[in-house]
């Protein structure tokens, strides 16, 4: 009798779909987290896995039932170059994981990369939603300022040296072009980019962002140095002073603006790096996992 009961229980369990056993709020959703400049695939991470661009968020979203990829591409290069690399990687991953469509989520320049894929590389048929996070939809004035300091005659030499450095750091065999990367972030370039990369009417676009309250060297040791430059550049280009250390808040808005995360009471805002929990830098200042779960749930619902 006990044997029959045991066999019946096993048969019942085996008849339940695997997805049902491990169901979560994101069950069955396919998500691609696309990095920005100086980024990398979190499958391996950087520095032997000691640094993760998404700070474990890919694993967390998987624990909520989603299929997640963190495709790598050239750390420093143009939007078209990176978009081609990302598209190839995501397409292969989708085939291997049975995904007919994917939610594209891009941070910083990665937001422009996924928009380019959909608008210019024919990826709209495989895209369910487009979500950008702290992206520069009106440009990043700091790029204009930095490039303006480098004389045109010096740019080729600077590009060779810096691109070689990037190749030595990343060692992934991908082409690097620092100047092309920098130009892709400028206000003038992005204005032309927007005209040539319109939204697809059949796809919903969402945007999220963040800002720093002030240049706090304790919480924002890196972004505190760039915040004043971005503040000045934002005012000069009519984008306002509020920024995350790299991108003006008004430049982060595209499609349906979904706002910024709620930081803990002691935090002085959320900066550009903390927005993805880079090297686990954001989780002490806001509910990173809860924020990204909401981002993914919003994409799933198509609100």
What is the pLDDT at residue 153? Answer: 85
User: Looking at the predicted structure, is the pLDDT value of residue 115 above 80?
Assistant: yes
What is the pLDDT at residue 168? Answer: 87
What is the pLDDT at residue 32? Answer: 98
Computed over every residue of the chain, the mean pLDDT equals: 92
Tokens 């749930």 belong to which residue?
A: 297
Q: Six-digit token pair at 223?
A: 């972004």
Task: Tell me how crowded residue 67 is: count the other CB atoms within 10 A of its CB.
Answer: 20
- Summarize the confidence of residues 177-185 as an average pLDDT: 97
Burial-class residue 99 by CB neighbours within 10 Å (0-12, 13-18, 19+).
buried
User: Looking at the predicted structure, is the pLDDT value of residue 7 above 90?
Assistant: no
* Percentage of the chain exceeding pLDDT 70: 93
- Which of 31, 35, 208 minimizes the C-alpha distance to 106? 35
- Predicted confidence band of residue 13 (pLDDT cuts 50, 70, 90): very low
What is the pLDDT at residue 284? Answer: 98
Tokens 């487009």 belong to which residue?
A: 130
pLDDT digits (tens, 9 = 90+) for 31-67: 999 999 999 999 989 988 899 999 999 999 999 999 9
Q: Which CATH architecture does the domain made up of 30-301 adopt?
A: 3-Layer(aba) Sandwich (3.40)
User: Looking at the predicted structure, is the pLDDT value of residue 298 above 80?
Assistant: yes
What is the C-alpha radius of gyration for the chain, rounded to an integer number of angstroms?
Answer: 21
| Whole-structure pTM value | 0.91
- Summarize the confidence of residues 273-290 as an average pLDDT: 98
pLDDT digits (tens, 9 = 90+) for 193-217: 999 999 999 999 999 999 999 999 9
- Summarize the confidence of residues 148-175 as an average pLDDT: 88
User: Looking at the predicted structure, is the pLDDT value of residue 12 above 90?
Assistant: no
What is the pLDDT at residue 154? Answer: 87
- Predicted confidence band of residue 15 (pLDDT cuts 50, 70, 90): very low
User: End-to-end distance of the chain based on CA atoms, in angstroms?
Assistant: 52
- Predicted confidence band of residue 150 (pLDDT cuts 50, 70, 90): confident
What is the pLDDT at residue 79? Answer: 98
What is the pLDDT at residue 1? Answer: 42
- Predicted confidence band of residue 169 (pLDDT cuts 50, 70, 90): confident
Higher local confidence (pLDDT), 65 or 2: 65
* Percentage of the chain exceeding pLDDT 90: 83
């Amino acid at each position: 009798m006990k044997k029959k009961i045991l066999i019946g229980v096993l048969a019942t369990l085996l008849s339940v779909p695997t997805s049902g056993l491990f169901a979560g709020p994101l069950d069955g959703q396919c998500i691609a987290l696309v990095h920005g400049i100086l980024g990398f695939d979190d499958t391996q991470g950087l520095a032997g896995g000691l640094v993760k661009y998404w700070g474990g968020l890919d694993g967390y979203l998987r624990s909520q039932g989603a299929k997640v990829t963190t495709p790598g591409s050239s750390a420093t290069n143009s939007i078209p170059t990176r978009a081609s690399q990302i598209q190839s990687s995501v397409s292969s991953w989708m085939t291997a994981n049975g995904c007919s469509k994917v939610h594209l989520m891009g941070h910083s320049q990665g937001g422009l990369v996924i928009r380019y894929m959909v608008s210019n590389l024919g990826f709209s048929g495989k895209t369910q939603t487009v979500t950008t996070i702290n992206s520069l939809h009106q440009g990043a004035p700091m790029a204009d300022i930095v490039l303006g300091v480098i004389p045109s005659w010096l740019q080729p030499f600077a590009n060779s040296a810096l691109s070689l450095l990037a190749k030595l750091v990343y060692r992934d065999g991908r082409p690097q072009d620092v100047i092309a990367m920098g130009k892709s972030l400028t206000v003038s370039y992005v204005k032309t980019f927007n005209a040539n990369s319109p939204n697809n009417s059949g796809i919903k676009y969402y945007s999220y962002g963040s800002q720093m309250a002030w240049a706090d060297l304790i919480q924002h040791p890196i972004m505190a140095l760039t915040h004043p430059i971005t503040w000045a550049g934002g005012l000069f280009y009519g984008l306002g002073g509020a920024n995350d250390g790299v991108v003006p808040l008004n430049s982060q808005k595209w499609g349906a603006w979904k706002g910024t995360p709620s930081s803990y009471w002691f935090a002085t805002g959320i900066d550009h790096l903390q927005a993805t929990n880079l090297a686990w830098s954001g989780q002490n200042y806001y509910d990173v996992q809860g924020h990204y779960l909401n981002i993914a749930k919003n994409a799933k619902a198509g609100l």
